[in-house]
Structure 1
Amino acid sequence: MDLEKPSREQPRRASGQPRHVPEEPGGCLAVAVRIPVRIVVLVLVVPVRMLWDALVVSGRFLNDVLLRPLGRTLLWLARAVFVWPFVGLWRYVAVPVGRALAWLGHVLLVVPAVWLYRHLLTPLGRAAAWVARGLWAALGWVYSGLLAPVGQAVMWVVRGLGAVLAALGSGLWTGAARLAKYLVVVPALLLYTWVLVPVGRAVARCVRGLVWLVSTVVGGVGTGLYWIARILFVLPALAVWRWVLAPVGRVLAVVGREVGDALGHAWRVAGHVSLAVGRFLATVFRWIFVEPVRWVYRRVLTPVGHAVRDAVLRPAAEAARAAGRAARQALAAARESARQARADLRRMLFGGPSRPRSAALGEPSGREPRTLGSSTTALTKD
């Protein structure tokens, strides 16, 4: 088993041997076409890829800044103009009106119809069914007691007449059959056997000979036309295809494959170039515009804003709050003074409020609860 195992396994590559790299198909023609095509395509594709990346970035910026907010605004306006009015109309007008109409239809149509069916149509139907059952019973008695015996008697008479007519007709049919056999069938059989069959066989032989002659002529003409067409059209076309079109097609296939590979390679390289250019422009824009604006905001505007907030806005807010508190206190004092003045005027005009009289001594001020030692009757009171 150990001796057979290396023969079954695939040969392993030694560690010192170089790895074989498969060559690209196409040969010297592909190698001769590849480098110039890739250079030309790279020169042509780089501006297109950069323009494409610029358009993509511009489209994304417009989508995020303009189109998406505009679309949301238009969607909200469309809902406010078209959807919400119809929803309100449906919810607060159409549904209540529909329920009211349904209730009216139930009261005006369904309830009278149910009452009419229950108290008028049902008794009439039952009466009509009872009358129909009586008529059916009467018709059954007329059929079984009168019509059935009369029909049986008529059928007996008809069967007797049919038997008599059948006996007479069988004799007439036998005579007519014998006359037809000797006057029509036998002469027709003789005519078919001794006249029509020989004539038909002769006509069939003539037709077969004519068909063989025509097929032979047509086959010869067809064979000649086939070889003429093969020599004049098929063989030249085959030679043109084999010796002209196939090599040209192979060359064009190699060129097309190389052009496609070059376009893909150039598009990827142009993507890296466009990414590097975009990063460079972004860095330049950041150092020229963003960083100065950030420095101005952080080093100038923020301290100025803090100083304005601490020196102007906060004291102004404190003064405004103090003025508001003073105004509220003044208004509260004025309202209290007005309330006291109205109370004094009311007391001067109508007098003070009446005080409740004190209860008489010895009378309870309210109902006392009952206990075991007390009673509410006059006889048991102490």
Structure 2
Amino acid sequence: MDMQKRSRQPSPRPPQAHQPEGCLVVAVRIPVRIFVFLVVLPVRLLWDALAAAARFLWQYVLAPVGRALGRVLHGLVVVPLIWLYRYVLTPLGHALVWLCAHVFPPIGHALMWLYARVLTPIGHAVVRLLTPVVKAAAWVVDMLGTALYRIARVLLVLPAVALWRWILAPAGRVLGIVLKEIGEALGHAWRAAGYVARAAGRVLGTLFRWIFLEPARWVYRTVLTPVGHVVRDLVLHPVAEAARAVGRAVRQARADLRRALLGEPRRPEPVDRREPRGRDTRTLDR
């Protein structure tokens, strides 16, 4: 059991060889990360603002527009395509199947007979005539290819190998280190800029709350509400009562003026209902 447990345990990793460019990494990393952070911070702030605007745009503008466009495209494209498939392409397909079953097989048989009786003998004769020419051309091409390969190896391959081994490979390693550090610095700067952006948003929200919302709420509760109650009780209600009293006085004066000019209004004369006057008689009044 101990041997099995030991065999299941992962073998220790071999120690990594010391990279000769470690000093270069340390010298490049810190300045690059500071510079990239200063460059990325405004970009991250702008990115967060654009992301919030894009979410709002997708949710409240593009989604309804997309649904409307989907309905329009369904009516303008899908329905005509279904009609085209059902009433045009399907009959054409049936006609093509009929042709393949009744017309093309005789033509194919005729072509096969032509190929077997005419083209095959002609092809064999051409092959017999051209075989020596092809072998001679292949030998010439082989010789020319060998000579060109040797010339190209001396003039191109060996200088290219030396250039790669002594110039491009070291420069590529240095450039890879610089690009790696720049990428890591971009990642760190992006995350740090996100933290700064969120912190700035919280600070601005708190400042806006304490500078505008809380004073406005305090003024509304402490000043405007009592003043409104006082104005309502001392001004609006008396003004309303005075207005109603003035309205009643105006109506009364109008009625008095009408009586003074036109006299008392005529009272309706009582109508004889012609009903019996007995005590026990049932009338409209009882």
Contact 1:42 1:266 in 2 (8 A): yes
Once the two structures are superposed, the pairs formed by residues 53-202 of structure 1 within 5 Å of their partners are none
Matched residue of 1:36: which SS? helix
- AA aligned opposite 1:313: L
Q: Distance in 1 between matches of 2:133 and 2:274?
A: 152
Equivalent in the alignment of 1:343? 268
Deviation at 1:306, TM superposition (A): 1.1
Q: Distance in 2 between matches of 1:208 and 1:355?
A: 144
Matched, 1:34 2:2: no
Distance 1:52 1:213, change over 3 A: closer
Deviation at 1:261, TM superposition (A): 1.6
- AA aligned opposite 1:43: L
CA RMSD in angstroms comes to 4.8
- AA aligned opposite 1:7: R
Distance 1:218 1:36, change over 3 A: same
The match for 1:220 among 130, 139, 143 is 143
Equivalent in the alignment of 2:5? 6
Contact 1:45 1:266 in 2 (8 A): yes
The match for 1:273 among 190, 196, 204 is 196
Q: Distance in 1 between matches of 2:196 and 2:273?
A: 101
Q: Distance in 1 between matches of 2:133 and 2:10?
A: 76
Q: Distance in 1 between matches of 2:273 and 2:36?
A: 112
Equivalent in the alignment of 2:157? 234
- AA aligned opposite 2:32: V
Once the two structures are superposed, the pairs formed by residues 16-27 of structure 1 within 5 Å of their partners are none
Contact 1:26 1:254 in 2 (8 A): no
Identity of aligned residues (%): 53
Q: Distance in 2 between matches of 1:233 and 1:12?
A: 46
Deviation at 1:225, TM superposition (A): 1.4
Deviation at 1:35, TM superposition (A): 1.4
- AA aligned opposite 1:343: P
Deviation at 1:323, TM superposition (A): 6.9
Q: Distance in 2 between matches of 1:26 and 1:341?
A: 124
Equivalent in the alignment of 1:247? 170
Equivalent in the alignment of 1:136? none
Q: Distance in 2 between matches of 1:49 and 1:342?
A: 89
Q: Distance in 2 between matches of 1:7 and 1:357?
A: 128
Distance 1:343 1:252, change over 3 A: same
The match for 1:293 among 192, 213, 216 is 216
Q: What whole-Å deviation, never above 9, does each CA across 1:101-124 have from its counterpart, x for those lacking one?
A: xxxxxxxxxxxxxxxxxxxxxxxx
Number of residue pairs the alignment of both structures matches:
198
Matched, 1:302 2:221: no
Unaligned runs of 5+ in 2: 66-124, 278-286
Distance 1:309 1:8, change over 3 A: same
- AA aligned opposite 2:272: P
Q: What is the TM-score with the length of structure 2 in the denominator?
A: 0.50
Q: Distance in 2 between matches of 1:303 and 1:46?
A: 48
Q: What whole-Å deviation, never above 9, does each CA across 1:163-192 have from its counterpart, x for those lacking one?
A: xxxxxxxxxxxxxxxxxxxxxxxxxxxxxx
Q: Distance in 2 between matches of 1:219 and 1:317?
A: 117
Matched residue of 1:312: which SS? helix
Equivalent in the alignment of 1:355? 274
Q: Distance in 2 between matches of 1:287 and 1:212?
A: 95
Deviation at 1:287, TM superposition (A): 3.9
Equivalent in the alignment of 1:93? none
Q: Distance in 1 between matches of 2:146 and 2:211?
A: 89
Deviation at 1:231, TM superposition (A): 1.9
Equivalent in the alignment of 1:89? none
Matched, 1:49 2:48: no
Q: Work out which of the two has the higher radius of gyration on C-alpha atoms and give 1 or 2.
A: 1
Moved more, 259-268 or 308-317: 308-317
Deviation at 1:42, TM superposition (A): 1.4
Distance 1:251 1:295, change over 3 A: same
Q: Distance in 2 between matches of 1:242 and 1:12?
A: 35
